[in-house]
Amino acid sequence: MVQFPAEFSSRSRKYIKKLDSDTKLRLRDRIDKLEEDPFPSEVERVKDYKEGKAFRVRVGEQRILYLVQYNPNKIIVSKIDKRSRVYN
């Protein structure tokens, strides 16, 4: 049961399109889990993020940065990128 449906920024959609199918599948699986529980044990808060109170989760070399919204409940996937570039 999805409690927090995910919405993707245009930047994250573009990045996902460029990836290989295995990485896309791993990211989709992780996002599906975040939709059910947006605060798993391995989540970290991103400090000083300009778009608000953001969280990050690792998927191999990739990082997913997302915001959690209430009323209506949803996750906004702000950025997906490699660690070296995602925080810029």
Q: Which residues contact 48 (CB under 8 A, 6 or more apart)?
A: none
Residue matched to tokens 């070399």: 61
Stated length of the chain: 88
29-79: per-residue pLDDT in tens?
Answer: 999 999 999 999 999 998 887 777 899 999 999 999 999 999 899 999 999
pLDDT at res. 53 = 87
How far apart (Å, rounded) are the C-alpha atoms in residues 28 and 30? 5
How far apart (Å, rounded) are the C-alpha atoms in residues 37 and 35? 6
pLDDT at res. 13 = 94
Domains of the chain: 6-81 (3.30.2310.20)
Q: What is the pTM of this model?
A: 0.89
